[in-house]
Amino acid sequence: MLIIHDLKTRQITKQYARNRKLSKSNCRVRPGVVVMKFGEQLRSSAIREYQWYYIDYDGLKADLKHPSGSVQPVGDNSTKPSNRQQSRREWTEDDESRFISKLEAELEKVHTKQQVKAMEISRRIAVSEREVRDVVNRLNERGLSQDGPSEEEFMLLEEDLSDIIADVHDLAKFVQLNYTGFYKIIKKHDKMTGWHLKPVFETRLKAKPFYKENYDASVVELSKLYDLVRTRGNPVKGDSAAGGSQASFIRNTTKYWVHPDNVTELKLIILKHLPVLVFNASKEFEAADSAITSIYYDNPDTWELYEGRLKKTEGAEAIRLRWYGGMQNETIFVERKTHREDWTGEKSVKARFAIKEKNVNAYMRGELLPAAIFEKARKEGKKSEKAIAEDERLAKEIQWSVLKKGYKPVCRSFYHRTAFQLPADARVRISLDTELTMIREDNLDGVTRSGDNWRRMDIGIDYPFSQLPPGDIVRFPYAVLEVKLQTQHGQEPPDWVRQLISSHLVEAVPKFSKFIHGTATLFPDRIHLLPYWMPQMDVDIRKPASHDFGIKRTEHSATTSTSDDEDEEDSDDEGGVLGAQNGESIRQGAAARNGRALLAASDVEDQTVDRPTNDDVYLYDSDDEDDEDRLAEARRVGGWTYYQTLASTTAHTVGHAVWTGLKAIVPRPRATTVPRNARLESLLGTGEIQQKRFKAPKGKKIYVPVRVEPKVYFAAERTFLGWLEYSIYIGTIAVTLLNFSTKRGDKASFIAAGAFTFLAVMSLCYAVVTYLYRSKAIRTRQAAKYYDKVGPTVLCAALFVAVALNFGYEGTSRSMW
């Protein structure tokens, strides 16, 4: 059964397969899967202005299904032959030539429209710039008795700029959707015909790279103009570096992933509220201006910096060398990031100092002392003695750490950053990092990369670094959004920020780190503890629009409606994940992520997202250590460690089985099954919700962050002392009954005292075992169960029985019954 969401009628229908394809094991459709063909997605996402310039996806697909000379079905279009292979013949060279000609024509059509529209937008920006400058000049040059520009003029200018912003957004969506269409139709061609067109057509795409258009320059220019108009000609003044001159600064940062399809839209939304932060406004914007490169250091034997940053231990450090722009930049920043736990009362801090590129090697080897680095700064007197002293102390500490602990360059990160912030106002700072790439900098496998230099010199900022071998580079598939907020206690962030971070454009990934991700992916044979977001790398993060948020222009944009006639066989072999209004694919919400349904369609080229189809292949496991993995690791070690681990795992397995059996036998309240309402049934179906278990590759584990504060240790100690106190009380009662009995040979008093003594001893043993278990779990940061619903219950029941026995024996000894 397929659950199909029709974007035209907004209805959800259920459709049963009419042939045997969907019943096969390799094409399982779980309840809740919403499917849609890419052709339908293309039509539903089409913008009216571009409706005649999109790729003719359906026509190209029809050419592949019905080559020249094939037997066409007769009669109703919905009537199909039982075997599709009987209605077509082999793909010939004439068919290939005709298909390529049509594909070339479609490429020319899309490329021409993109070029014309991009030129139109550029001209409109230039005209708007002249108009804005004219209005602002009249505002600044008006006399005392003269009236400046009216509010209506500024409102008209703002509307014009908003219209241009919408044009840039529409063009970006047009390009993205067409590129997806070309990619899918070429992939479908190679699969259906057996002719490999992809390598050849990639050359044609490079000759007409409509999809490589970079809108950063337009975003920067629109940001300047929109800021002038929004502030009515009085933009905020201040240091454009916004803290760049400071040696140390504190930030509260939340990180998100952004799909490439949503990057341009996200930039256009943010620039309506914050201007693009430009460090040199007098200089024409260039792509190199936004490039940032960092070299991360670590000990390749222990990976202590990696594990410290991954586990977020108190005082964990990250050491990196960073520069802005191209390789010719002579100023290198040596930075150290230090993580601080909240319970310390301090904030995580980043400190850095500048050094000339020619001095980096000597400094990192210990040949150049920090005092010599800042000698010139002291003579020039441009910085205070206190600031120089802080920089010198930082330089000494970093140099000592590198030399003492054997830190070496291991990983490079490169990206283009677009920062949004009001100058000299750090309350809201948003940065978007695109084209994120991680590159190896080490010489561990015998390959000379950086050699004796502090960085490799065979690459610069020439993304996508095609000259590097695949094992040396990881191109991150998403952009990284960082939202840095500095608000007063109890103050809420702006509404637009809250709407942005809760919208469909972003996916929250707290504590994401470029250093951690790059190290984990570039050194798979050396890193065995992986970050928690690794399973999410195989999940499409695009979501449907959760609320009315984004760039919209209702008076101009509309979706086109075409024929509803679709091949019935396409519903069987061309299922895909439903596309939203802007081409995003539908997926289940975060709350149902573990039960997300996957469509294992036979024709994956026509899906909006390619997904793994083997449900039996687990990807990653949680941080909990499986007994099997522990035993395998202990077997490699051998000796007493293996026998100890074998006994521990065997006892754990037996204990778990006994406990499960006791739970099944003992009568207890059972949860009542609540039937699903109509809304949940329409989304998830009536079948059982499937859960996906993530299992790490052999020898690796996923580290799930567990926050541990000192009060957790104190809470465990207080609980142990509480049990100890009650054990002492019970023991005191036992001693009193035994020693102060009225009769020396009183059997009842002796039995009651024995019961209380046994209860006290058992309470003491239970308290010690529980305390040791909890202390170990806290030290190792395991996600253990720290609550106790068995011990207090047993203690109260045993105490009740002991008191009842004592009361009964005492009554018997006094002949009360």
Integer Cα distance of 315 and 49 in angstroms: 56
Residues 36 and 61 reside in one and the same domain: no
The 3-state secondary structure of 75-118, one letter per residue: CCCCCCCCCHHHHCCCCCHHHHHHHHHHHHHHHHHHHHHHHHHH
Q: Residue 85: which residues within 8 A CB-CB, separation 6 or more?
A: none
Residue that terminates a domain, selected from 186, 202, 235: 235
Number of other CB atoms surrounding residue 588 within 10 Å: 17
Q: Residue 650: pLDDT band by 50, 70, 90 thresholds?
A: confident
Residues 54 and 125 reside in one and the same domain: yes
Contact 40, 563 (CB under 8 A): no
Cα–Cα separations (whole angstroms), residue 436 to 206, 473, 481, 499, 794: 21, 11, 11, 25, 56
**Which residue is catalytic, options 514, 543, 700, 743?**
514
466 domain-assigned:
yes
Contact 54, 562 (CB under 8 A): no
Residues 483 and 601 reside in one and the same domain: no
Q: Could you read off the pLDDT of 223-238 as tens digits, one per residue?
A: 888 888 888 777 766 5
What percent of the chain shows pLDDT beyond 70?
Answer: 71
Residues 718 and 729 reside in one and the same domain: yes
Integer Cα distance of 18 and 569 in angstroms: 9
| Residue of 18 and 654 predicted with greater confidence | 654
| Structural domain span for residue 303 | 294-527
Q: What is the mean pLDDT of residues 95-104?
A: 86
Contact 715, 788 (CB under 8 A): no
546 domain-assigned:
no
Indicate if the pLDDT at residue 541 is higher than 90: no
34 domain-assigned:
yes
Residues 358 and 447 reside in one and the same domain: yes
Q: pTM of whole model > 0.85? A: no
Residues 53 and 23 reside in one and the same domain: no
Residues 517 and 574 reside in one and the same domain: no
Q: Which amino acid is present at 210?
A: F
Residues 510 and 572 reside in one and the same domain: no
CATH number at residue 513: 3.20.100.30
165 domain-assigned:
yes
Indicate if the pLDDT at residue 661 is higher than 80: yes
Residues 366 and 435 reside in one and the same domain: yes
212 domain-assigned:
yes
The answer to whether 184 is a known catalytic residue is no
Residues 158 and 192 reside in one and the same domain: yes
Average pLDDT, the chain: 75
Residue that terminates a domain, selected from 611, 645, 669: 611
Domains of the chain: total: 4
Residues 365 and 464 reside in one and the same domain: yes
Q: Could you read off the pLDDT of 395-407 as tens digits, one per residue?
A: 999 999 999 999 9
Residues 516 and 500 reside in one and the same domain: yes
623 domain-assigned:
no
Residue that terminates a domain, selected from 576, 611, 646: 611
Q: What is the mean pLDDT of residues 681-693?
A: 58
430 domain-assigned:
yes
Q: Could you read off the pLDDT of 370-428 as tens digits, one per residue?
A: 889 888 888 888 788 888 999 999 999 999 999 999 999 999 999 999 888 887 666 78
Q: Could you read off the pLDDT of 789-817 as tens digits, one per residue?
A: 788 888 888 778 777 877 777 777 677 77
770 domain-assigned:
yes
Contact 542, 585 (CB under 8 A): yes
Q: What is the mean pLDDT of residues 776-787?
A: 75
Number of other CB atoms surrounding residue 186 within 10 Å: 21
Q: Map tokens 């760049």 to a residue.
A: 244
Integer Cα distance of 706 and 785 in angstroms: 13
